[in-house]
Amino acid sequence: MTRKKSQQSNSNDVKKKGSSGKEEVFYGIPVSPGFVIGKAFKFENDIVPAIPSYDIKQSQVPLEIARFETALIATRKQILDIQKKISEAMGTEHAEIFNAHLLVIEDRVLIEEVIKILEKELKNIEHVFLKVSEKYGEIFSRINDEYLRERASDIKDVTKRVLSNLMGQAQKDLSQLDEEVIVVAHDISPSDTALMHRDNVIGFATDIGGPTSHTAIMARTLDIPAVVGLHDASKQIKSDVTVIIDGNRGTLIVNPSKQTLERYGKEKTRLELYEEELAQLRTLPAQTQDGYCINIAANIEMPEDVPSVMAHGAQGIGLYRTEFFYMNRRDLPTEDEHYEAYFNVAKKIYPNYVIIRTVDLGGDKFLSQLDVPQEMNPYLGWRAIRFCLAQTDFFKVQLRAILRASSLGNIKMMYPMISGIGEVRKANALLEEVKQELSREGISYDPDMEVGAMIEVPSAALTADIIAKEVDFFSVGTNDLIQYSMAVDRVNERIAYLYEPSHPAILRLIKYVVDIAHKENIWVGVCGEMASEPALALMLIGLGIDELSCSSVCIPELKRTIRSVSYSDIRHMADSIFNLTDPREILNKANELIREKVPGFLQL
Ligand code: PEP
Ligand code: MG
């Protein structure tokens, strides 16, 4: 696993609290390397506080009204604070979501009804407020108008906030943190991670999730240590205790002992030296000892990630996941907003390339703006290209924006979750339609923009010969290819042990795709997390992959590995693994090569 520098929170409280309380270690799945010591912040977004219900006397009514008013004022202040922070970090349009929340707490009809019922029923204010807001939420959720139906969720969010204030337990959200913390939660959705305060969240740990869940991927992009799949650890941890997240070993250590802190202190020095060494490789090519070069690119989720791509020495962006652009907002992005984001990314990375992936909604990334019914199997359902081909007006907005931005000449585009040639043909026909529209309107675009298909569904891999004829390149999405080939839900920690990239079935599929691509004279990359692990990356190079794209933070160690071995060693290793049957034995073979050839490869 790739490793990176260690961190220690700036909080002065940390050492004091660490020396009291008994040390406890929880074991999970390491998903983002490095370790960090800091103060826990328990994030309980999904928990509604238990609401008390009791009778009050007539004489207590004014007091209850005063409590209500104080809670409304506090809630208003919190919402304005969030708005300000989001607007500074992400722009005013993202902050506008909260206007609707302000409208709820300022709604005279709702407030007067609460007071009327309070006076009539003589029950505590929490009980009355919950009852009235539930009634309103229910009415809105039944209205046959998408916009008004959305108000039901605003009422629910605000109700939770007001009740928390009434009961003196205000819950911060992840954009509101004002000090460095390690977030501990049962789960964190990709949209929560998108909202995270980038400077103040220094690590996170969740009870559920697997190594390729989008929350885990986001941790790597943000370059913060993370562990998932900790079962019920979050239930046993309180805010403010000292914890260590070890994203190399997959542990969460609560109340670390003096000895543990000393051990991590020593490791910190070791990792820092290692980091310094890796940093020197930034501008060097990923070239083997015998001169074979491989293209190393980075994956990004947001335009803000581009500086890290450059700082880590990537030669381009092999995957721009555009769906985060749609999150944490009430409306859909306009064509101009899309265009500006893509153009800016392309400009910053120029003359290197960026591969923009058309939107991959569904799976673990849902949007409240779209009226998509809940499905039993979201990963097998109305996801990615399937959704886009059914909602062509929605899809065309993005295609137009990508094409407009392509006039710079360094944009490539690819379709996610292709399962067969029919989808490629339909998407390409739509792209052609959009090109003609733009030409008629006199808007320039790159007529030769390369268009690729992601290979992440076994049916696409096995029909690669057919699909290759309609595209300029393939990008193998191993996160999904493994999920779909091995029937392993990528976000389910209970079966994460079955998620084996070195399984012969996966290696055979990839080899087949590479051989076909090269026969058809197109190039093929891998942009799944498999590309970020040095041992697996060597296997992929040995199978003939032309480009590896992974989280920026993993690139220096990948370069170091590639620069230490020869291509003939890699080919030899890759040939030999096809005689092996056990995924662990196969992985071991590649690790042997690393142990033998990569000097000082850090073993923890
Ligand atoms: C993949 O499936 O490997 C991939 C890169 O796409 P995502 O992780 O966004 O599904
Ligand atoms: Mg995928």
Write out pLDDT tens, residues 472-513.
999 999 999 999 999 999 988 899 999 999 999 999 999 999
214 flagged as catalytic: yes
Q: Which atom of ligand 1 is nearest to the CA of 478?
A: 3
Helix (H) or strand (E) holding 318: strand 316-321
pLDDT at 28 over 60: yes
Out of 4-13, 172-181, 186-195, 524-533, least confident range? 4-13
Query: Domain 293-597: what homologous superfamily?
Result: Phosphoenolpyruvate-binding domains (3.20.20.60)
Q: Is residue 450 helix, strand or coil?
A: coil
The CA 148 to ligand 1 mean position distance, Å, reads: 34
Q: What is the pLDDT of residue 525?
A: 98
pLDDT at 316 over 60: yes
Q: Is residue 317 helix, strand or coil?
A: strand
Write out pLDDT tens, residues 136-154.
888 877 777 766 666 777 7
Q: How far is CA 194 from CA 81, 138, 197, 199, 304, in A?
A: 18, 29, 9, 13, 11
Q: What is the pLDDT of residue 209?
A: 86
Which of 193, 212, 475 to probe ligand 1 with, by most ligand atoms within 8 A of CB? 212
Residue from 94, 101, 197, 214 carrying the catalytic annotation: 214
Write out pLDDT tens, residues 186-241.
888 776 777 777 778 999 999 988 888 878 888 888 889 999 999 989 999 989 99
Tokens of 385: 């290209």
Q: What is the pLDDT of residue 15?
A: 41
* CATH code that applies to domain 14-45+177-258: 3.50.30.10
101 flagged as catalytic: no
Q: What is the pLDDT of residue 500?
A: 95
The CA 482 to ligand 2 mean position distance, Å, reads: 10
Distance CA 395, CA 90 (A): 24
Is the CB of residue 301 below 6 angstroms from any atom belonging to ligand 1? Answer: no
pLDDT at 433 over 90: yes
pLDDT at 94 over 80: no
Considering the domain delimited by 58-167, tell me its CATH architecture.
Orthogonal Bundle (1.10)
Q: Which atom of ligand 1 is nearest to the CA of 363?
A: 10
Q: What is the pLDDT of residue 560?
A: 94
Query: Domain map of the chain by residue range?
Result: 14-45+177-258, 58-167, 293-597
Neighbours of 63 (CB within 10 A): 12
Is the CB of residue 360 below 6 angstroms from any atom belonging to ligand 1? Answer: yes
User: What residue's CA is closest to ligand 1, atom 6?
Assistant: 477
Distance CA 345, CA 338 (A): 11
- Alpha-helical runs (H) found in 168-236: 190-195, 214-222
Mean pLDDT, rounded, of the chain: 89
- Alpha-helical runs (H) found in 350-477: 384-390, 392-405, 421-440, 458-462, 464-467
Is the CB of residue 479 below 6 angstroms from any atom belonging to ligand 1? Answer: yes
Distance CA 283, CA 582 (A): 37
Is the CB of residue 157 below 6 angstroms from any atom belonging to ligand 1? Answer: no
Q: Which residue has the higher pLDDT, 439 or 105?
A: 439
Q: Which residues are annotated as a binding site?
A: 321, 357, 456, 479-480, 490
User: What residue's CA is closest to ligand 1, atom 9?
Assistant: 321
Tokens of 418: 């292709």
Which of 360, 419, 550 to probe ligand 1 with, by most ligand atoms within 8 A of CB? 360
The CA 437 to ligand 2 mean position distance, Å, reads: 30
Question: Predicted confidence band at 12 (pLDDT cuts at 50, 70, 90)?
Answer: very low
Is the CB of residue 527 below 6 angstroms from any atom belonging to ligand 1? Answer: yes
Return the sign of the alpha-carbon dihedral for residues 341, 342, 345, 346.
Answer: negative
Q: Which residues are annotated as a binding site for Mg(2+)?
A: 456, 480
pLDDT at 335 over 50: yes
Three-state DSSP string of 473-538: EEEECHHHHHHHHHCCCCCCHHHHHHCCCCCHHHHHHHHHHHHHHHHCCCEEEECCHHHHCHHHHH
Nearest to 444 by CA among 526, 307, 572, 339: 339
The CA 572 to ligand 1 mean position distance, Å, reads: 29
Tokens of 40: 């826990």
Strand-pair partners of 39: 242
* DSSP β-ladder status, 251-254 and 242-246: antiparallel
Q: What is the pLDDT of residue 97?
A: 67
pLDDT at 90 over 70: no
The CA 74 to ligand 2 mean position distance, Å, reads: 42
Q: Are 360 and 366 in contact (CB under 8 A)?
A: no
Which of 366, 527, 550 to probe ligand 1 with, by most ligand atoms within 8 A of CB? 527
Ligand number nearest CA of 478 is 1
Distance CA 584, CA 604 (A): 19
Helix (H) or strand (E) holding 163: helix 146-166
Is the CB of residue 319 below 6 angstroms from any atom belonging to ligand 1? Answer: yes
Q: Which residue has the higher pLDDT, 468 or 97?
A: 468
Out of 13-17, 82-86, 311-315, least confident range? 13-17
Mean pLDDT of 287-316: 95
Tokens of 526: 């891998």
The CA 515 to ligand 2 mean position distance, Å, reads: 21
pLDDT at 134 over 50: yes
- What is the value of pTM for the model shown? 0.78
Question: Predicted confidence band at 86 (pLDDT cuts at 50, 70, 90)?
Answer: low
Q: What is the pLDDT of residue 77?
A: 87
Residue from 388, 527, 550, 554 carrying the catalytic annotation: 527
Intra-chain end-to-end CA distance of the chain, in Å: 10
